[in-house]
Amino acid sequence: MFRNYFKIAMRGFGRQKLFTFINVVGLSIGISAAVVIYLIVHFDFTFDKFHKDGDRIYRIVTNYTYSGNAGFNSGVCGPMGGAVKNQVTGIEVVAPFFTLGQPDVFIPGNTAVPVRFKNQENIILADGNYFKIFEYKWLAGSAQHALDAPNQVVITSDQAKKYFPTLSYDQMIGKIVTYDTLKTTVTGIVQTIKENTDFNFHDFISYSTNQTNKTIADQLQLTKWGATNSESQLFVKLSPKTKTAHIEKQINGIFNKNYKERAGVSHSYHLQPLSDMHFNENYYNFFDDRIASKTTLYGLLTIASFLLLLGCINFVNLTTAQATQRAKEIGIRKTMGSSRKQLILQFLSETFFITLAAVIISIALTPLILKLFADFIAPGINANLLGQPNLILFLVILTVMVSLLSGFYPAILLSGYKPIMVLKNQSVPNSSKSHNAYLRKSLTITQFIIAQFFIMATILVSKQIYYVMHKDMGFKKDAILIISAPWKNLTIKKNRLLIDYIRSIPQVSLAGLGGPPPSEDGNNSTESTYMDGKKEVKIELDEKYGDENYINVYHIKLLAGRNLRASDSTSGFLINETYARLINPQYPLEAVGKQIEKFNGDKTMQVIGVVGDFNQMSLHESITPLAILKGNQTYNYARIHIALKPEIAGGNEWKTAIASMGTYWKQIYPDDDFDYRFFDDSIAKFYASEQHTATLLAWATGLSIFISCLGLLGLAIYTTNQRTKEIGVRKVLGASVAQIVTLLSTEVVSLILIAFLVITPIAWWAMNKWMQSFADRTTISWWIFVLSGAGMIITAVFVSSFQTVKAAIANPVKSLRSE
């Protein structure tokens, strides 16, 4: 029976080549999107899902408020690990660990000079408890004792092969690995985790090393309750059936017993579930690991469902539109003894074949799409069917679901025809007023709603991105180069040598030393007090460190007072206008010369100048009080800010200048790679996620318009065929081609207008919501909506005109005679 259906289906497809093509293309697009998005979503949602008892594993994190601002830290203070282990009940295992900042790794080889691996990440200090919470497969050594003593190290198999390419795992035991200056002995090799995980550590140095190594002990700060460091992390595995609130209460109790909060600051400790770690943007993981955004993932899912829905709608529309053509076959089959069930099965299997074809096309397309979107897609994602049984299962479910969604209604409708109607040569009710035609119109409206929503969203997001990229942030951002000195080997003296050389390069117009540039992700805040007569004004502010050239490199405007000078002490500083207004709301420029007390806790400072406001962070954030000051720490001058002279069009002077800086850098910092960035590139990166959104939306828009227009074209062909006779009669009666085209296009236009009325308020609401994440935003102009509505109408009329014009210019005598 199935073979029979297949045969008939194939012949039908052959006869209705265009409709079949539209259906397959529409569904292929939807299904391809669904497959790619499934891969992305599945990838992120399976992170660290494989750990045994994962639902009992938590990270203890620190939340704090600082003068009313919320802060989050993925670490805990140094003593917390020991205290939790000894005092908290309800916990099975406590595993503190410490992530080491990029040491160089040395492996003594046969030659005199050891093999060196520079700036290695994913190296931590941990004890045996880490391996009790997270189970690894041990290839050499044992979980019980591998990290008992100081200066021991456990290495994952992949990393071990890099260190000791010629040795077997057993032979590696006892070998020496040196981290910067810390010498350790290999006591275990564990299998590298192959599942999706954020735990990519590959070197585990024994935590107890702090007992013998003062540098390590200093970093761990094991006795300081007041210092929270995100490198010091604490994982626990709760006993079965323990409530997190019970644990949190105990931990906060311990903290409050040991530490007296400063005024305006409060800490609280929370248990972050393992499953939350991959998604919670408040907390860093370990080494700047990618945090996935659930909002983005859900957004992607929505896009996929919409595109699928559009494909299904095409199918339903085209199939029901053709119902009359199939009515005869249905009638005959029923008189041949077919039951309704059998007919439904037959139609569903036809849908199934179409869907299957679309699925096969999608499988072929997926690797290409993954390549096309490589920028957004995590590198671990691939479309390899063999390695991913879950993907096969998904495809099966998708095929069945899409077949049902597209095929069910047409199957019910078609199989319901009474044979008698057909046999009596009565036409099957399919006029414009029938139930079925209403359904078709509603579905078409739905398509236009989806397409217009995407158009509106794309226009708005692009408008906002254009706005933030072109908005004057209060400083110059192009032709500025920032060089970051290597923090490990940095000295002010070396930086001065470097900047002196840079100033001698003819392409450089100005260069200065300082900390972060005017605008950067992340800030450095502190507190100050201003005595307004007797009244104490507490002001929280941002700090930027720079020398006398800093504001000139960035063209930051000096509104009053004077700039910093090379001869100034560190107690004079510049403030921005927002700060100045807090000191003197009416005449902010009179803040010059005022004393600021308790700056950074205890210093007394003097305002020597007021600069114009500029955005210290992306336009997501608003402008806050800010000080520009000279620092006395090496890291206050870690960066060199360089203003370049304009380049002659097509020239490569900058390239030459940068190459020359790089050469000199090698003399000063021979061990480190030359690290430079253009400031405007970093600014653009603020909006990387919005740029991604815009690109995705543009694709979604293009595809949804494309699918809808395909369907529209199909419907246009069908209706014009249906109305051939009417068109002929009208033409004989004197209607012009334009009148006929107008007549045939009115319906499409009115459907789009209905869709427009439905979607505009919804789109407006959604846009408003999205814009809330920007402190500084463009307006949601009326023309966004008009443009999308008009664009949709023009596109749709244009697409259907291929058919309507053809029908309108056809010779009426012909169409009437053939009736």
Q: How far is the CB of 819 from other proteins (least distance, A)?
A: 18
Using CB under 8 A as the binding criterion, the count of chain residues that bind other proteins stands at 24
- Segment contacting other proteins by CB under 8 A, of 2-10, 457-465, 595-603, 697-705: 2-10
83 closest CA partner among 245, 216, 258, 212? 258
Q: Compare residues 328 and 476 and give the one whose CB is closer to other proteins.
A: 328
Which string of b and e fits 397-413 if b means at least 16 CB within 10 Å? ebbeebbbbbbbbbbeb
Sequence-separated (6 or more) residues with CB below 8 Å from residue 283: 59, 61, 72, 73, 74, 230, 272, 277
As a 3-state breakdown, the chain gives helix, strand, coil percent values, each rounded to 5, of 50, 20, 30
d(CA 673, CA 669): 8
Q: How far is the CB of 703 from other proteins (least distance, A)?
A: 33
- 427 part of the interface to other proteins, by CB under 8 A: no
Q: How far is the CB of 427 from other proteins (least distance, A)?
A: 14
Pairing verdict, β 572-576 and 626-629:
antiparallel
Q: How far is the CB of 746 from other proteins (least distance, A)?
A: 34
Q: Compare residues 17 and 260 and give the one whose CB is closer to other proteins.
A: 17
Q: How far is the CB of 337 from other proteins (least distance, A)?
A: 4
CA angle 401, 404, 407 (to 5 degrees): 140
Write out the two tokens for 192. 């590298």
Please provide the DSSP assignment of 151-165 as one string. TEEEEEHHHHHHH-T
d(CA 229, CA 220): 9
Sequence-separated (6 or more) residues with CB below 8 Å from residue 236: 57, 58, 59, 60, 84, 91, 92, 93, 94, 95, 133, 247, 271
Which string of b and e fits 703-724 if b means at least 16 CB within 10 Å? bbbbbbbbbbbbbbbbbbeebb
Q: Compare residues 342 and 484 and give the one whose CB is closer to other proteins.
A: 342
Q: At what angle do helices 323-335 and 340-372 cross, to 10 degrees?
A: 140
Q: Compare residues 179 and 347 and give the one whose CB is closer to other proteins.
A: 347
SS3 383: coil
Contact 551, 609 (CB under 8 A): no
Residue type, 567: S
Q: How far is the CB of 713 from other proteins (least distance, A)?
A: 24
- Tell me which residues in 330-369 interact with other proteins (CB under 8 A): 331-339, 342
> What's the Cα-to-Cα distance from 190 to each of 52, 132, 160, 199, 387, rounded to whole Å?
17, 13, 9, 13, 23
Distance spanning both ends of the chain, measured CA to CA: 37
Q: Tell me phi and psi for residue 517, to 5 degrees.
A: -65, 170
- Segment contacting other proteins by CB under 8 A, of 6-14, 80-88, 147-155, 709-717: 6-14
Q: Compare residues 282 and 338 and give the one whose CB is closer to other proteins.
A: 338
172 closest CA partner among 99, 107, 80? 107
Q: How far is the CB of 5 from other proteins (least distance, A)?
A: 10
Q: How far is the CB of 422 from other proteins (least distance, A)?
A: 8
Q: Compare residues 7 and 249 and give the one whose CB is closer to other proteins.
A: 7
Instruction: Print the binding letters for residues 451-490 with other proteins: x by CB under 8 A, - otherwise.
Output: ----------------------------------------
Q: How far is the CB of 410 from other proteins (least distance, A)?
A: 17
Q: Compare residues 424 and 817 and give the one whose CB is closer to other proteins.
A: 424
Q: How far is the CB of 199 from other proteins (least distance, A)?
A: 58
Q: Compare residues 267 and 334 and give the one whose CB is closer to other proteins.
A: 334
Q: How far is the CB of 12 from other proteins (least distance, A)?
A: 6
- Tell me which residues in 595-654 interact with other proteins (CB under 8 A): none
d(CA 773, CA 764): 15
d(CA 295, CA 688): 15
Q: Compare residues 336 and 386 and give the one whose CB is closer to other proteins.
A: 336
CA angle 399, 400, 402 (to 5 degrees): 65
d(CA 216, CA 528): 33
Neighbouring C-beta atoms of residue 505, cutoff 10 Å:
18
Write out the two tokens for 95. 């595993």
Q: How far is the CB of 357 from other proteins (least distance, A)?
A: 19
Q: Compare residues 422 and 459 and give the one whose CB is closer to other proteins.
A: 422
Q: Compare residues 8 and 173 and give the one whose CB is closer to other proteins.
A: 8
Q: How far is the CB of 8 from other proteins (least distance, A)?
A: 5
d(CA 439, CA 326): 19
Q: Compare residues 421 and 754 and give the one whose CB is closer to other proteins.
A: 421
SS3 75: coil
774 closest CA partner among 617, 625, 626? 617
- 1 part of the interface to other proteins, by CB under 8 A: yes
- Tell me which residues in 7-66 interact with other proteins (CB under 8 A): 7-8, 11-12, 15
Q: How far is the CB of 16 from other proteins (least distance, A)?
A: 11
CA angle 370, 373, 379 (to 5 degrees): 65
Q: How far is the CB of 709 from other proteins (least distance, A)?
A: 29
Instruction: Print the binding letters for residues 760-799 with other proteins: x by CB under 8 A, - otherwise.
Output: ----------------------------------------
- Tell me which residues in 396-425 interact with other proteins (CB under 8 A): 419-420, 423-425
d(CA 595, CA 578): 17
Q: Compare residues 424 and 470 and give the one whose CB is closer to other proteins.
A: 424
Q: Compare residues 174 and 337 and give the one whose CB is closer to other proteins.
A: 337
Q: How far is the CB of 464 from other proteins (least distance, A)?
A: 54
* Widest pairwise Cα distance in the chain: 106
- Tell me which residues in 277-336 interact with other proteins (CB under 8 A): 328-329, 331-336
Contact 439, 715 (CB under 8 A): no
Contact 534, 520 (CB under 8 A): no
- 118 part of the interface to other proteins, by CB under 8 A: no
Q: How far is the CB of 328 from other proteins (least distance, A)?
A: 7
Q: Compare residues 325 and 382 and give the one whose CB is closer to other proteins.
A: 325
Q: Compare residues 423 and 732 and give the one whose CB is closer to other proteins.
A: 423
Q: Compare residues 351 and 578 and give the one whose CB is closer to other proteins.
A: 351
Q: Compare residues 11 and 246 and give the one whose CB is closer to other proteins.
A: 11
- Segment contacting other proteins by CB under 8 A, of 5-13, 135-143, 175-183, 705-713: 5-13
- Segment contacting other proteins by CB under 8 A, of 3-11, 63-71, 498-506, 768-776: 3-11
Please provide the DSSP assignment of 428-467 as one string. PS-STTSHHHHHHHHHHHHHHHHHHHHHHHHHHHHHHHHH
Q: How far is the CB of 335 from other proteins (least distance, A)?
A: 5
The residues binding other proteins (CB under 8 A) are: 1, 4, 7-8, 11-12, 15, 328-329, 331-339, 342, 419-420, 423-425
